[in-house]
């Protein structure tokens, strides 16, 4: 007797296969949207955001160069998941990271849990952009942080 899934189209014809395919499609579309969104910021918007980030960190050199953060290739900026996080990311990712930081306490479980006060609400996970990063974010944001860390060497300028 053969594998019963073979007669129905193999793995891709099964429910797990279809769900895997849909998940891959959603992830690809989300990534494409992120890239599209990050390229839509005008140079003046990107520059003012970079200058604002630099001012918060006491770095006046970035204010003079509005196309990227110091040490990053053109078009990339420090992620700033915390003050020492200098992984180079798109302007959109940098802005989303700032928004995630601002919402950090709202995404934690108010009653704690297995990880104490660092426990995330249902549907949220630790971002883990660096060791000890326990900001609660949606799973796609953690995946994005992991990918940005993997691509960091290619974005240094």
Whole-angstrom Cα distance, residue 55 to residue 49? 10
pLDDT tens digits, one per residue of 48-69? 444 444 444 444 433 334 678 8
> Quick check: is 6 in a domain?
no
DSSP 121: P
pLDDT tens digits, one per residue of 73-96? 999 999 999 999 999 999 999 999
Query: Is residue 120 predicted with pLDDT exceeding 90?
Result: yes
> Quick check: is 77 in a domain?
yes
Question: Can you name the residues that pair with 89 across neighbouring β-strands?
Answer: 77
Classify residue 137 by burial, with Cβ atoms within 10 Å: 0-12, 13-18, 19+.
buried
| Range(s) of the domain holding residue 131 | 13-155
> Quick check: is 40 in a domain?
yes
> Quick check: is 88 in a domain?
yes
> Quick check: is 29 in a domain?
yes
> Quick check: is 7 in a domain?
no
> Quick check: is 28 in a domain?
yes
> Quick check: is 5 in a domain?
no
Residues 76 and 88 sit within 8 Å (Cβ to Cβ): yes
Whole-angstrom Cα distance, residue 89 to residue 78? 6
pLDDT tens digits, one per residue of 21-41? 666 666 666 665 555 554 444
**% residues pLDDT > 90 (the chain):** 55
Query: Whole-model pTM?
Result: 0.58
What is the count of structural domains for the chain?
1
């Amino acid at each position: 007797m053969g594998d019963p899934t073979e007669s129905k189209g193999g793995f891709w014809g099964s429910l797990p296969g279809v769900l895997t395919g849909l998940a891959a499609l959603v992830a690809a579309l989300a990534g494409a949207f992120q890239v599209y969104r990050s390229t839509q910021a005008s140079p003046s918007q990107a520059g003012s955001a970079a200058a604002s980030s630099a001012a918060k960190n006491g770095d006046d050199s970035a204010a003079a160069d509005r196309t990227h953060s110091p040490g990053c290739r053109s078009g990339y900026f420090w992620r700033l998941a915390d003050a020492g996080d200098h992984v180079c990311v798109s302007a959109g990712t940098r802005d989303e990271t700032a928004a995630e930081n601002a919402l950090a306490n709202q995404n934690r479980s108010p009653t704690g849990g297995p990880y104490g006060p660092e426990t995330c609400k249902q549907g949220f996970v630790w971002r883990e952009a660096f060791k000890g990063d326990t900001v609660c974010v949606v799973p796609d944001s953690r995946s994005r942080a992991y990918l940005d860390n993997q691509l960091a060497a290619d974005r240094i300028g």
